[in-house]
Homo-oligomer: A and B are copies of this chain.
Amino acid sequence: VARAVDVPELVEQARAGRPRAVARLISLVEDAHPALREVMAALAPHTGGAHVIGLTGSPGVGKSTSTSALVKALRGRELRVGVLAVDPSSPFSGGALLGDRVRMQDHALDPGVYIRSMATRGHLGGLSWSTPQALRVLDAAGCDVVIVETVGVGQSEVEIAGMADTTVVLLAPGMGDGIQAAKAGILEIGDVFVVNKADRDGADATVRDIRHMISLGEARAPGDWRPPVVKTVASREEGLDDLLTALDKHRAWLGETGHLRERRLRRAADEVEAIAMTVLRERMGDLRHGAALDSLAASVVDGRTDPYAAADQLVDAVTATAADAR
């Protein structure tokens, strides 16, 4: 028998700012604990307050240093900050610590910062299925900002854009990132572009490249968002004010134009749909271990029915299970 969980108590403690309660709630989510549904129901009324920032970029552009510097800047404004690191190479994820001057350890004892590394299991290189739920925990726990850091390879950068209110794309000079970005379609997901390591040669050229490519993008109507390009040297905490200003402006634009609600509606719809598919798949699995699917398969093998008609019957059986459960 699993240890009983006092969900209302945990949620109350998390909202009061107890890091252990927050950590426990995220663990319940990650482990798909039987109390998961109760947890999500208890959190729901307290969600929606956090500004969710997705931060992505190729390896080597300084993502973790930038995240750390951004956390520090936000803390300077007395904001509560959550970090979900979905980057397997991130030092926050338990990987090797990089030689960055600013490290997450700076924040380890700060009660206003929650840091959590998320496993990427079940979703090769992409975001874990539990990332949206962990995000809800941090949101409900009173974080003003939640940063989701992912390495910008393959699928995860597109996923993060679906999950975040504001997507920050990090680049560095002289890495051919400008051209790479265009290829990877990263231009379309970036709400704010950051050229980090801006003290290096070629920083201005990289900024110009990105600006040029943004201007080449599809014609924008007046009032549309034009992604700003910000220069930072995260390791020296330079340019963070400009970044915060850009983030504030985007957040304000989202709110004023109704895009915030639109993005969040789409995100919620995707999430609900994915969970519903999982529920139906599980019910089908139960039917498989029962006899329903076996007898349908026998009908198909014997030529008494075809796979499509059998599938309809299976859907009906799943349906009946759902009706019984009510």
Contacts and interface: CB of A to CB of B under 8 A. Distances in A.
Given A322-B315, A322-B319, A268 B297 contact: yes
Interface in A23-52: 36-37, 40-41, 43-48
Nearest to A265: B297
A79 interface: no
B280 A297 contact: no
B293 A284 contact: no
Contacts of A326: 316
A115 to B, nearest CB: 24
Interface stretch (A68-76, A194-202, A242-250, A303-311): A303-311
A285 to B, nearest CB: 9
A297 to B, nearest CB: 4
A276 interface: yes
Given A273-B293, A277-B280, A300 B268 contact: yes
Contacts of A213: none
Contacts of A278: 311
Contacts of A48: 301-303
A274 to B, nearest CB: 8
A269 B284 contact: no
Contacts of A301: 48, 261, 264-265, 268
A288 interface: yes
Binding site secondary structure of chain A: helix
A218 B16 CA distance: 57
Interface in A258-297: 261, 264-266, 268-269, 271-273, 275-281, 284, 288, 293-294, 296-297
A318 B280 CA distance: 10
B306 A40 contact: yes
A314 interface: yes
A298 interface: yes
A25 to B, nearest CB: 13
Most chain B CB within 10 A, of A273, A293, A303, is at A273
Nearest to A316: B322
Contact of A300 (B272, B277, B303): B272
A315 B37 contact: no
Interface in A132-175: 132-133, 136
A69 to B, nearest CB: 31
A263 B271 CA distance: 36
- Which 5 residue pairs of A and B lie closest in terms of their CB atoms, listed nearest first? A275-B311, A40-B306, A268-B297, A269-B297, A44-B306
